[in-house]
Amino acid sequence: MKSLSTEILVIGGGAAGLSAAAEAAAAGAKVLVAESDLHLGGQLVKQTHKFFGSKDEYAGTRGFKIADILLSEIDSCKENVEIHTNTTITGFYPEDGIFTAMRGEEKFFHISAKKTIVATGAQERLIPFPNNDLPGVYGAGAVQTLMNVYGVVPGKRVLMVGAGNIGLIVSYQLMQAGVEVAAVVEAAPRVGGYWVHAAKIRRMGVPILLRHSIKKAVGDQVITGAYITALNDRFEPVGEESYMDCDVICIAVGLSPTTEILSQAGCGMMYVPQLCGLVARRDRTMRTSNPDFFTAGDASGIEEASAAMVEGRIAGLSAASSLGYPTEHGKLDEYWGRLQALRSGEAGARICQGLECVLVNRWEDVSNG
Amino acid sequence: MADDLDLFNSGVLTGEREGAVLPDRTLWESKKGGVVLVECPQRIPCNPCHTSCPTGAIRPFADINDTPKVDHSLCTGCTLCVASCPGLACFVIDLTFSGDKALFKLPYEMLPLPEKGQKVWCLNRTGDCIAEGTVENVTQPKKDRTYVIHVSAPKEVVGEFRTIRAVK
């Protein structure tokens, strides 16, 4: 079986992975990026809206343009970077330090690496309701991929479930594509995403129904409508259900970090609700309890892409540095300064609470188990 | 008021909240080109309104999460912030347009793009039609497909009119 080896393996070619690869390659390390999709860029390539943040995180620039910026940065040190798209890392075998990889569905090979950065992103959550297996029920990521990558609208009239940033942004993008958004239902008493994203669709007449959720989908062969219901303070259905015509139900109820590889590598893991799931404990360099593994981006806790890119930079810098490549003094502190700035708003307070649980000062001081 | 709070929590600016308070009327009426209203009441990490402002009217941020503060006396109504704001939360309103009409310069990212001379519906923050307006100009200050639509509409709706819908 074919076998590849590299100094730094970056698993995932999205916002965090590309930033990590660019940073490590610029420091002189040999980097291999494994991306399961056909294209690099991860979620960035679907983001047609302008990003928040500061100039350092390309604020005011549309997400897919940011992917281009990162790719051209990688291109400028391409002698150090090997890219493998359509390549899924299927497992890690700690006894011999080998990753198994699959290109397409037929080519299998091994990869060995001195250091690994796990930037595998996240998976969408779904909620159970009757008929949620009918065609027409989509995750928000699928709707974005259909529309913004392939130019296909998912339907004519959409019920959006969830008013976090993804639910709000995808609603806006659906309207840009000429699709009607019947309503956004949100179980919480306020929108979870940025208020300005909600304002954008409210002023175009989209109702955002707080303390509401979907009760069941309606349809024979495909979705033709949905029943929604109000919720009380304990998230229990109250009052009469109301019917809504729609041919698409789009689910945007949150993400969970993708961390299987970290678990297989024996990294110390912790379930942290504020970071939306099971994540690896890490120090300020994004190093996990396994000194050869680093984590960054949504795989280390669900957060904005702007923060994922900075975390990727930190992981790339640290991985290169741990291999002896000289890195600029003070860069780690600079990146932490940026992260702290990004995290000092309303949404950031929750992230900071979560990080307090998983961040360790020095691994030497942490007792085993 | 619970209803007011519910509205606000679903993305509708209400009451005397930051952003909803209109600029000093005397100053506003003296400003040819108009002044900006920034409807951004939540602390989020974002500052392109300030970094795009060529006159310093949108004051420097001590912390990137601060909500924008505007010195309306410095604002020229240039619309660079309107085109730069990722939240589409900046609106320029020029009260000097005519006796009974103001010129609204609003961010727009929908298709088809309205054309000069076209009649449009003026929508408030919940999408209700509150007046009819006329498109006076369409610009693209940043050449990045966030357009700024200049619409003339009755002065009575300055506190409410925030986006348009094409008249069919």
Distance (Å, whole) CA A283 – CA A93: 24
| Residues A199, B128: C-beta atoms closer than 8 Å | no
Q: Name every chain B residue with its beta carbon within 8 A of the beta carbon of A200.
A: 11, 87-88
Determine the residue among A61, A180, A185, A195 to mutate to test chain B binding: the one whose Cβ has the most chain B Cβ atoms within 10 Å: A195
| Residues B10, A189: C-beta atoms closer than 8 Å | no
pLDDT reported for residue B16: 84
pLDDT reported for residue B18: 83
Q: Above 0.85 for ipTM, yes or no?
A: yes
Determine the residue among A50, A58, A231 to mutate to test chain B binding: the one whose Cβ has the most chain B Cβ atoms within 10 Å: A50
Show Cβ contacts of residue B133 under 8 Å, excluding neighbours closer than 6 positions.
B104, B119, B120, B121, B122, B151, B152, B153, B161, B164
Distance (Å, whole) CA A252 – CA A248: 13
pLDDT reported for residue A343: 95
pLDDT reported for residue A2: 85
Distance (Å, whole) CA B97 – CA B95: 6
| Residues B52, A60: C-beta atoms closer than 8 Å | yes
Over 50: is that where the pLDDT of A235 sits?
yes
Pick the closest to residue A243 from A209, A218, A208, A221 (CA basis): A218
**What one-character DSSP code corresponds to residue A301?**
S
Chain A nearest-CA residue for B81: A60
In this structure, the dihedral spanned by the alpha carbons of residues B102, B106, B112 and B113, taken in order and rounded to 10 degrees, is 70
Residue A329 near chain B (CB below 8 Å): no
Percent with pLDDT over 70 in chain A: 99
Pick the closest to residue A241 from A129, A127, A134, A158 (CA basis): A129
Q: What is the mean pLDDT of residues A28-37?
A: 98
| Strands of the A237-245 sheet, one edge to the other | A212-219, A223-231, A237-245
Kindly report the pTM of this predicted structure.
0.95
Q: Name every chain B residue with its beta carbon within 8 A of the beta carbon of A344.
A: 45, 63-65
A188 and A210 in contact (C-beta within 8 Å)?
A: yes
Pick the closest to residue A347 from B42, B10, B98 (CA basis): B42
Over 70: is that where the pLDDT of A113 sits?
yes
With vertex at residue B100, the alpha carbon angle to CA B160 and CA A205, rounded to the nearest 5 degrees, is 25
pLDDT reported for residue A369: 46
Pairing of β A277-280 and β A107-118: unpaired
pLDDT: which is higher, A368 or A62: A62
Q: Name every chain A residue with its beta carbon within 8 A of the beta carbon of B61.
A: none
| Residues A199, B144: C-beta atoms closer than 8 Å | no
**Banded model confidence at residue A56, pLDDT cuts 50, 70, 90:** confident
Show Cβ contacts of residue A210 under 8 Å, excluding neighbours closer than 6 positions.
A163, A186, A188, A189, A190, A191, B6, B9, B10
| Helix locations, B66-158, DSSP H | 80-84
Q: What is the mean pLDDT of residues B72-98?
A: 98
Chain B nearest-CA residue for A210: B10
pLDDT reported for residue A182: 98
**Which stretches of chain B sit within 8 Å of chain A by CB?**
6, 9-13, 39-48, 51-52, 63-65, 84-89, 109-111, 123-128, 144, 146, 162-163, 165
Chain A nearest-CA residue for B124: A203
- The residue with tokens 């980097």 is A31
pLDDT reported for residue A368: 54
Residue A200 near chain B (CB below 8 Å): yes
| pLDDT, tens only, B120-149 | 999 999 999 999 999 999 999 999 999 999
With vertex at residue B37, the alpha carbon angle to CA B36 and CA B43, rounded to the nearest 5 degrees, is 120
Show Cβ contacts of residue B90 under 8 Å, excluding neighbours closer than 6 positions.
B36, B37, B38, B39, B49, B81, B82, B84, B107
Of B9, B13, B144, which is closest to A210 when you measure between CB atoms?
A: B9
| pLDDT, tens only, A177-202 | 999 999 999 999 999 999 999 999 99
Chain A nearest-CA residue for B86: A50
Buried-state track A227-249, b at ≥16 Cβ within 10 A, e below 16 = bbbbbeeeeeeeeeeeebebbbb
Over 90: is that where the pLDDT of A364 sits?
no
Of A195, A197, A205, which is closest to B127 when you measure between CB atoms?
A: A205
Determine the residue among B13, B38, B64 to mutate to test chain A binding: the one whose Cβ has the most chain A Cβ atoms within 10 Å: B64
Residue A102 near chain B (CB below 8 Å): no
B50 and B59 in contact (C-beta within 8 Å)?
A: yes
Q: Helix (H, G, I), strand (E, B), or coil: what is residue A254?
A: coil
Distance (Å, whole) CA A39 – CA A22: 17
With vertex at residue A162, the alpha carbon angle to CA A61 and CA B8, rounded to the nearest 5 degrees, is 80
**CA of A195 vs chain B CAs: smallest distance (Å):** 5
Of A197, A198, A203, which is closest to B162 when you measure between CB atoms?
A: A203
Q: Name every chain B residue with its beta carbon within 8 A of the beta carbon of A205.
A: 123, 126-128, 165
**CA of B43 vs chain A CAs: smallest distance (Å):** 5
Q: What is the mean pLDDT of residues A113-140?
A: 97
From the CB of residue A183, how many other CB atoms can be counted at a distance below 10 Å? 20
Over 90: is that where the pLDDT of A324 sits?
yes
Q: Which amino acid is at A6?
A: T
In this structure, the dihedral spanned by the alpha carbons of residues B65, B66, B71 and B75, taken in order and rounded to 10 degrees, is 20
**CA of B139 vs chain A CAs: smallest distance (Å):** 18
Burial class (CB in 10 A: 0-12, 13-18, 19+), A152: exposed
Percent with pLDDT over 90 in chain A: 94
Q: What is the mean pLDDT of residues B71-86?
A: 98
| Residues A54, B64: C-beta atoms closer than 8 Å | yes
| Residues A52, B45: C-beta atoms closer than 8 Å | yes
Q: What is the mean pLDDT of residues B65-83?
A: 97
| Residues A198, B13: C-beta atoms closer than 8 Å | no
Residue A337 near chain B (CB below 8 Å): no
